[in-house]
Amino acid sequence: MLRLLSFTLFLAIWWIAALLVGGAKLPSPPAVLQVMIAEASSGALFLHLGATLARVALAFTLAMSLGSAIGYLMGRVKLADRLGDPWLILLLNLPALVVIVLAYIWAGLTEAAAIAAIAINKLPTAIVTLREGTRALDRSLDEMASVFAMPRWRAFRHVVLPQLAPYIAASARSGLSLVWKIVLVAELLGRPNGVGFEIGVAFQLFDTPRLLAYSLTFAAVVLVIETLLVQPFEARANRWRPRAA
């Protein structure tokens, strides 16, 4: 209910602002909706949205799985931490634009280059979060698992993984928002489709309704994924915690 109210307020402010500055700079909500419907009925909206979502899914999965594995290793093994740390700092501070441009130069304007560039941008934050989580693991529970001779996989699944779950959820959430932002840049610079490409076209034509139509649909999809996937996972991972009164 409160969410709906806050959304209505957002629409109202937008509408008023549109009336004040004029339709060329900020089109009103109905104007944008009209473009959305037109793009949707031609199928272009779904094509571009689909292309972007596929890239996000691939890059995100790649970065999360690789980053989690490396982060866990660096949290557990001191040598890996020492060896990996300088690389990690380098990657963390490398601007996204540099990675994307270099990827396109070295690997050509290809799908693989785009996905790799997006994944590389997300990778270091996933590593850092999971390394922190691994460092915070409760040693006394490891000892318990070892005394009771729990097989490795069972101990990992029931002793280690639940402790890492909040870190994985945090990493997924921050990672998803990062990937959403970077995927558009990668598309703008070197892909012939996707929301980023469309926004680039709209920018060249100064077509604000089109620009808003694409970015708002995109934002809506992000919101849906967040509420339907990320938040339930977090709630499940924290089920055992005594609820705050």
* Least distance to another protein, CB of residue 144, Å: 5
Q: 18: which residues sit within 8 A by CB, 6+ positions away?
A: 26, 27, 28, 29
| Of residues 93 and 140, the one with the C-beta less far from another protein | 140
| Of residues 144 and 228, the one with the C-beta less far from another protein | 144
The answer to whether 157 and 145 have CB atoms below 8 angstroms apart is no
* Least distance to another protein, CB of residue 149, Å: 7
Pick from 62, 141, 221, 225 the residue near another protein by CB under 8 A. Answer: 141
Burial call 191-209: b when 16+ CB within 10 Å, e when fewer: beebbbbbbbebeeeebbb
3-class SS of residue 1: coil
Pick from 25, 82, 135, 158 the residue near another protein by CB under 8 A. Answer: 158
Q: Check residue 162 for interaction with another protein (CB under 8 A).
A: yes
Among 122, 131, 133, smallest CA distance to 85 is for 131
Q: Which stretch binds another protein (CB under 8 A): 9-17, 45-53, 148-156, 184-192?
A: 148-156
Pick from 40, 73, 159, 230 the residue near another protein by CB under 8 A. Answer: 159
The answer to whether 64 and 171 have CB atoms below 8 angstroms apart is yes
Kindly list the residues in this chain that would bind another protein in the complex (CB under 8 A). 140-141, 143-144, 146-150, 154, 158-159, 162, 239-242
